[in-house]
Structure 1
Amino acid sequence: MLDNGCVRMPRIRVSKVTGNVYQIRVDDVETRFFEGIWEIPEGVTYNAYLVDTGEKRILIDTVKSRYALEFLEALRGILDPRDIDAIIVQHSEPDHSGAFPIIYEAAGKPKVYAHPIAKSIIESEYGVRLEKYEAVRDDTVVDVGDGKLVMALVPWLHWPDTIITFYPEEGLLFTCDVFGVYGVLPHIDDAGLSSSEWALYERYMRKYFANIVGAYRDWVVKNLEKLEAKNWNFSIIAPGHGLVIRKRIGEVLEAYRAWGSRRLNPRKATIIYSTMYGAVEKAALYAAERLAETGFEVHIYGSNDEKGIALGDVLGDAIDSRILVLGVPVYDGNIHPITRLLVDLLCEKVAAGQVTSIISSYGWGPVAKRIVAEKLEKCGFRVAGVIEARGALPANDVDKLIENMIAAK
């Protein structure tokens, strides 16, 4: 709802990607929490694609169910849906397939291509029966008249049923969630982005990677190696979220290699804290100041009685930071509930040997070293030190902690 009481309607964009390929894109600026947890004030797009050679018409993916009717109208602006010969479901998750039942019916129930396990997911999730279905294998080919579409299985990027599709005649790789990104930018592709706009886009891509793909980084590396081994000569990446990539394909691939292989930025630090009465916050801000003085790029996130922590942004910066500082208040004889959730997410999605320290203020008794430090070490962080104090945390102790982290190899 807008301030004037009007409802913000989704923006549907139809654009030509190449001579035979349309993009149908929904700009979603309504969703506040992607997957119900990741705060996205930047919004997100849902991208579907139509390959129309005149001889064959293949729809690749759909969009979120709340936009199904608008999507159908946009599709009708290109062709009669009953002329669609097949639908490729690259990923059965509802943000890419929620509109599938309506589109499938409107198109007259055409043949569906999807991962071998996707049929049962689609039929149970969306209440449809797939009458003509082909299970995709590596190198499954779909004839499009003037050429072909070739598919490959890329499991756990980020669901087990994810596939990608290559259109060699157009040099175009459709990747669904792979190389996805948050953000609703006015551009259709990256060709017109300034350096500052690209820096923002890359930040959104890293945040998306950490949130959505971070738990599957080993699979990122495996599937990138698989893609490289295929020697597909693509000059355009068409993802399910974000911009079509034309100019910076090498940068996108290298970013995924870096994040997937747990490569860290040696001069980047992220500080994350919760505070109830200010003691932890004061120490965290002091730590940020000290790290910045030594030349670190510092990102700081905190929750207090006026603001919360944007978990998605935290993970986006933590995933490639060499140094992490966690500010942990004690709460009900345990660590603060926000910190408990945060530690679980850090372990699951971004652990990569980051040098980590913990600063903790308590009233009843210390628990951070016993609970947080042990868990972080078990899941792959390198804990350089822990400060625990009743009330205020001494500045000279924080200084020593910073020195130890910087010196850690």
Structure 2
Amino acid sequence: MMNYHMANCMNTWLHIGEKVINPVKVKTAAMELFVHQVSDAVFKYTWVVKNYSKFVAAHEGFDSPPFEVNINGMHTKWGLSIRFWKGTDGHRLLNPIVLCLNQISRKNVFQIISDDDFNESSVMSQHNKKIHISFQFGLFNHSNGQDDPISVTSCSLPAQSSQDLISVGFQEVFIKKRHLDAKGNIIIMVKLQMHSNEEKEKHTLSNDMQKMMELIQSIRREDVDASLPDIVILTAQGEDFPVHRHIMACRSKVFAELFESPVGTNGHTLHKILPRGASNFMNVHKFDMDDLSKECLQQLVNYAYTDRVKGLDAHANALLAAAERYALPGLKTLCAQSLANTIQPGNVANLLLLADRCHCHALKQKALSYCEGHAKRICKNLAWKVMEVISPKLFQEACEVGLGDSSPRLG
């Protein structure tokens, strides 16, 4: 039986009930969901694999029952599958497993088009649409009663109807003792979120704020009007970033304290300019923030106005530190999620140091989990040696999750 629970219209969580693996094909029920935007909904599917240890010994791979996600006239059918790597000797490896997400079919029944979008060119563009998929696997941890999540993965698929099986993506997953219950069962989950590249936020606050920010950053100094920015932030390279005092102060208590400081302190100066067509000079307060590069400050301001960051992957390290320094917890979360997707043997030590320095528990736990699952692939590079000297407690913590015992290279 398929059960759905709607928390709220925005950021809806839908739970697709437990499915027990069975060699008999199961016909799944389906429910249609309508939301303002497809990306408002996050779907969660749970797959219970009974007698996992015995089952994997007898099968080269196996698939979950199919499950359907029907939203705004887009009908999709999905499935999970487990496959195995083979070693150099040709024998199958039982750990780690390869967990795959597959789109079995897609059918677009109709499209909901707003009055603003209803024109010939927009209708024709429906054929060029892509659906952007974000998904996250997890394994239920029986020792603490919570899911052990794996990093979020994203990809794009053609939006048109299709009956072809498409492999959306896969992740290496390590099955630990904590993932097996007393009967040898494991519980696998996947969270699934979709949005279209044509899904526009034409009448949202974030979109309007984006326009305002672009406007004030495109004007020349002599064009500044009293109704526009009243604060200018200076970067290390001397670049000007005009902003609104109240917007930045509401977003960050650190900025609020900076802006309230007397002129002459905290890099605070007063600059007089004459706007175009005006007869009187106006005062614009300037703040020197030479700890941020132009690119980093641009993205920080973009986040403050819109809750979004463009090209986050390229600046996530610097932005995480800036988010911690200027008390922007939402930006900190975005950076942590982005960095968690980049963890690999060569950078895990650097990310542990960064997470520890920025008090980012989520990223630290992701990095430690990676160390636990990939101990034999991690060598003691310079970053590990630095960690051992400047943060011996963190180094010991990493060793305790498996590095010290399973990898003599870190000894």
TM-score by length of 2: 0.28
TM-score by length of 1: 0.28
- Which has more radius of gyration? 2
